[in-house]
Amino acid sequence: MDDLNKKKYDFLLFLLEEGDAMVCLDARHAEVDVPASHKNNSSLNLVFNLNFRHPIEITEEGIFSSLAFNGRPYKCALPFVAVWAIYDPNMKNGQVWEESIPADMNLAEQAMETPKPLTKLKPVKSSGKPAGEPPTGEPKPEGKRDRNHLRVIK
């Protein structure tokens, strides 16, 4: 095992001892085996945890496990040569191996992209009361009755 893959292996095991680990890899690498819908992804992000229902095999060559994609299991092979970053999803700790980042991927551009809001939000004043109650001091609107009672109909 080369020194770079050994570092990835050791770092992944370190994070998994603490909880979750997010693995970022180039799924286009020839040795990566993932569903066809993800095979062209240069920045596939997968979360791992030792408490998964299916066992995870982590060797010095890579990660081998059945993972769920759209609710369907798929036996994946993820060699460390395709991994370019591993981090704690809670952003406490992480490592990026720049020499493993795909040449055609520009991380700076991706970081600068900001999602556009779907709709404009308007400020709303709240009376602090539940939605169905009128504000204090105002009578209930005419024509609306409480429907929390029973009536006898003859």
Instruction: Give the number of other CB atoms < 10 A from CB of residue 1.
Output: 11
Distance between start and end Cα atoms, the chain: 87
Strand-strand pairing, 62-69 and 56-58: antiparallel
Given this model, what pLDDT does residue 104 score? 85
> Helices (DSSP H) in the chain: which residue ranges?
3-18, 107-112
Q: For the chain, which residues make up each domain, given as ranges? A: 3-97
Q: How confident is the model over 71-122, as pLDDT tens digits?
A: 899 999 999 999 999 999 887 789 999 999 998 876 555 444 444 444 444 4
Res 52: pLDDT: 82
Contact 44, 69 (CB under 8 A): no
Residue 19 has pLDDT above 80, yes or no: yes
What pLDDT is stored for residue 80 in this prediction? 95
More confident residue, 91 or 15: 15
Cα separation, 34 vs 75, in Å, equals 8
Q: How far is CA 118 from CA 15, 71, 121, in A?
A: 35, 28, 9
Say which amino acid occupies 111.
A
Given this model, what pLDDT does residue 118 score? 40
The whole-number average pLDDT for the span 57-76 is: 92
State the pLDDT at residue 139.
56
Please count the other Cβ atoms lying within 10 Å of the Cβ belonging to residue 124.
Answer: 5
CB of 102 closer than 8 Å to CB of 28: yes
Report the chain's mean pLDDT, rounded to a whole number.
78
Looking only at Cα atoms, what is the longest distance across the chain?
88
Please return the burial class of 20, using the count of CB atoms within 10 Å of its CB with bins 0-12, 13-18 and 19+: middle
Residue 53 has pLDDT above 50, yes or no: yes
CATH number of 3-97, picked from 3.30.720.110, 3.60.15.10, 3.40.50.10490, 2.30.30.220: 2.30.30.220
Q: Is residue 142 very low, low, confident or very high in pLDDT (cuts 50, 70, 90)?
A: low
- The whole-model pTM stands at 0.65
**Is residue 2 over pLDDT 70?**
yes
CB 92 within 8 A of CB 100: no
Query: In which band, very low, low, confident or very high, does the pLDDT at 36 lie, cut at 50, 70 and 90?
Result: very high
